[in-house]
Amino acid sequence: MAEIRCPMCSTMNQEAAEVCSNCQARLTPLVADLPPSEQHDSGAEGRTPPQSDANGGNDDWLANIRADAAMGSGVEDHAAEPEEADDAAPDWLGRLREADSSIEEGPPSDKIPDWMGDFIAAGDEATEEEVPEWLSRVRERREAQTEEQPESDEGEDWITRLREDTPDEQPAGLEDLKPSPDDDESIEKPAPQALDLDPPPDLPDTQVPQDDLAGEQVIPSQEAGDIAPSVDSVVDDSPPAMQEPISPDEEVEWFPAPDERELQEAEELLHVPALLDDETGDASAIELSDLNLDSIELPDWLGELKSETPPAAEDEGEGPDLAPATLPSWLEAMRPVDTFRSEIEIEAEEVLPVESAGPLAGLRGVLLAEPVVAMPRSASTAAARLEVTERQYAQGELLQRLVEEEEKEIPPAKAERRRLPLVRWGIAFVLLLAVILPFGFSQLGIEGYAFPSVVSRDLEPLINLISGIPTERPALVVFDYTPGYSGELDMVAGALLEHMVMRSLPIITVSTRPTGPPLAEGLLNKIAAGYGAVNGESYLHLGYLSGGPTAVQLFSIAPRSVVLTGYHLPDSLSEGSVWESPLLQGVQRLSDFNLVVVITAGTDTARTWVEQTHPWIGDTPLVMVLSAGAEPLVRPYFEASEPQVDGILTGLPAAVSYRQYSGLPLETGVQWDAFGMGMLAVELTLIAGGAYGVGLWLLRLRKRR
């Protein structure tokens, strides 16, 4: 069964299919059938048999055509070949194929694809349904060209140029199309010519193959000795603007003016464009209306001749009697507002081109995208009319005001008068005065503050501990505070260190801070001076212990492996190790010290020493000398059921009490008075601040009333 190849997706479809089963593209171009009357008229002059003869008298009119075509034709031999087709095949098509096969040599047999070979083979024995109609049209066209060639060569070869200028555009895959019987319904029925072929019996009367019609437009020119009718017939479908009449003065000399009868006949003829590509010889299914006449270069006389026919009359006669289109009310309501109006007027349907490819192939007046997308348009007045609500209007006003204010130049703000920090200076002056004044109490005869009479309950165990420490082994004193706390901690730790020096307890110092060793050296040097203690004999500095908590633990386990050199060693030990000192004999670990005293102002440092030394400190007591601020965080270690800290000494009052109850000289009178005056100044400051606030609150309360 014959199949049709889809021009869009090349899918093979049934012969009777109108649309592709795969892509739904139309397989048969949509061409409006001509009225039967025109077809009958086009067969005037005896070239086309009347419709009544289509069934029974085919042989006659075909014979006439064959006889006319045989004159001066090079295909007469082929036309005289006997019919070899079977009964099912149309004779005229088979003969046409045979006749044309002799004209067109075609490609070598070895280069013909299989499907084409089958097609050709089938053509020899083709039945009526399998005859490739397009091929017959092509051959007819070729035959007509060969017949016209001698005459065209004599005068201007404008026919050749006409064909050359004819667009070669063809639907893709058209050459692969196999005509189907259904095509006959949509394609004009061709009129057989030059060959003694019987028309297909199943063809409708109103349809004539296009190629045959093309033959018709050639035949009269051959008979009349000119080609004016045929060319004019081509112009028949051109836009009216191109149909300009030509004056007799402008006629070409070699080309006589056609008479009215010939012109009328030519106009009534059906015309088809050149369906044959001159170079490839491919057939085309382009309809008459597909021919782009704008690209055809016509003689002037042709344009004038065509313009004589009023296009309006043609439109009126050919246009369908249709009522003007009206939109239903609901569709009219849904139609978008005509905001923009295109400047491009939609042309008449007859002027519009016919789609030559794609699913819309064959349709005329397809909506064009260019006027909507690419062509310039102007906005109508309705577009500028906005519906603005009050809120939007207010927001717009606000935005405009903001923009206007943004452009205004803001005057430079006056620099605020810088207020002197009198309160801060006053407090600093009071504190400074409070600390300095006690130094003049003795000269002024002012009695200072009395020493504390109340002793903390924590102080007595500490004094007893220091008093009971044996002096055979040294005590380790850790100076872990910065110089900023030296004013407080030197006073507090001085009492404990002086007690130890007074008891001739050897002191070994170490510090986890770089500033610790010089602080230790300064404090011990000052204390030892009063008791004749000497560096290297009564005390010794191990120096800086780097490494943080890890170094503390390592020092607790193996102090000799951590500290190697020492700090500010005596001359006897300047070239050797600090561990060669007699003070450190027998000290291998932290527990070998008789006492460990940690002087610090930081809670983290105190916690590090408590926690890191606890597993290896053994029975060696640990004493904390702290700043007043660090006491709360260290006290839990001291007040635990199993205390890790054996004594705490914190704050200047405790140090003064320690001196009082340990029998140390009270040389801290000035410091004690300065401490008391400073405390007084701070207390008064807070009281003054409270009074100031209460006063302001009362004033505001009175103003409110």
Min dist CB 576 to another protein, Å, is: 15
Listed ranges 80-88, 378-386, 502-510, 555-563: which one lies at the site for another protein (CB under 8 A): 555-563
Min dist CB 580 to another protein, Å, is: 17
- Is residue 307 involved in binding another protein (CB under 8 A)? no
Which DSSP helix (H) or strand (E) runs through 540?
A: strand 539-544
Listed ranges 193-201, 336-344, 388-396, 686-694: which one lies at the site for another protein (CB under 8 A): 686-694
- Is residue 699 involved in binding another protein (CB under 8 A)? no
- Is residue 550 involved in binding another protein (CB under 8 A)? yes
| Residues between 641 and 670 with contacts to another protein, criterion CB under 8 A | 651-653
- Is residue 683 involved in binding another protein (CB under 8 A)? yes
- Is residue 521 involved in binding another protein (CB under 8 A)? yes
DSSP assignment letter at 9 = T
Tokens of 261: 């009868």
- Is residue 131 involved in binding another protein (CB under 8 A)? no
- Is residue 679 involved in binding another protein (CB under 8 A)? yes
Find residue 377's DSSP bridge partners: 342
- Is residue 516 involved in binding another protein (CB under 8 A)? no
**Among residues 2 and 626, whose Cβ is nearest to another protein?**
626
- Is residue 446 involved in binding another protein (CB under 8 A)? no
Per the CB < 8 A criterion, the answer to whether 648 and 635 are in contact is yes
| Residues between 572 and 591 with contacts to another protein, criterion CB under 8 A | 589
Per the CB < 8 A criterion, the answer to whether 610 and 622 are in contact is yes
**Among residues 375 and 423, whose Cβ is nearest to another protein?**
423
Query: Which residue in 294, 277, 291, 94 sits closest to 199, CA to CA?
Result: 94
Listed ranges 161-169, 218-226, 470-478, 546-554: which one lies at the site for another protein (CB under 8 A): 546-554
Residue labelled with tokens 């207390």? 683
| Residues between 615 and 644 with contacts to another protein, criterion CB under 8 A | 615-616, 628, 631-633, 635-636, 639
Min dist CB 480 to another protein, Å, is: 15
- Give the 3-state secondary structure of 609-673: HHHHHHHHHCCCCEEEEECHHHHHHHHHHHCCCCCCCCEEEECHHHHHHHHHHHCCCCCCHHHHH
| Residues between 270 and 299 with contacts to another protein, criterion CB under 8 A | none
Min dist CB 567 to another protein, Å, is: 5
At 39 the three-state DSSP class reads helix
Instruction: Quote the Cα angle for 143-145-150, to 5°.
Output: 115
Listed ranges 47-55, 87-95, 411-419, 682-690: which one lies at the site for another protein (CB under 8 A): 682-690
**The only residue of 197, 228, 562, 626 in contact with another protein, by rule CB under 8 A:** 562
Listed ranges 6-14, 26-34, 62-70, 476-484: which one lies at the site for another protein (CB under 8 A): 476-484
Question: In terms of DSSP bridges, do strands 507-511 and 539-544 run parallel, antiparallel, or are they unpaired?
Answer: parallel
109 class by beta-carbon count within 10 Å (0-12 exposed, 13-18 middle, 19+ buried): exposed
- Is residue 461 involved in binding another protein (CB under 8 A)? no
Query: Which residue in 417, 132, 414 sits closest to 283, CA to CA?
Result: 132
**Among residues 661 and 697, whose Cβ is nearest to another protein?**
697
Read off φ and ψ for residue 596, nearest 5 degrees.
Answer: -125, 120
**How far from chain centre, in Å, is Cα 196?**
70
Tokens of 258: 């056609």
| Residues between 483 and 502 with contacts to another protein, criterion CB under 8 A | 483-487
**The only residue of 375, 690, 698, 699 in contact with another protein, by rule CB under 8 A:** 690
**Residues binding another protein: number (CB under 8 A):** 76
How many angstroms separate the first and last alpha carbons of the chain?
A: 114
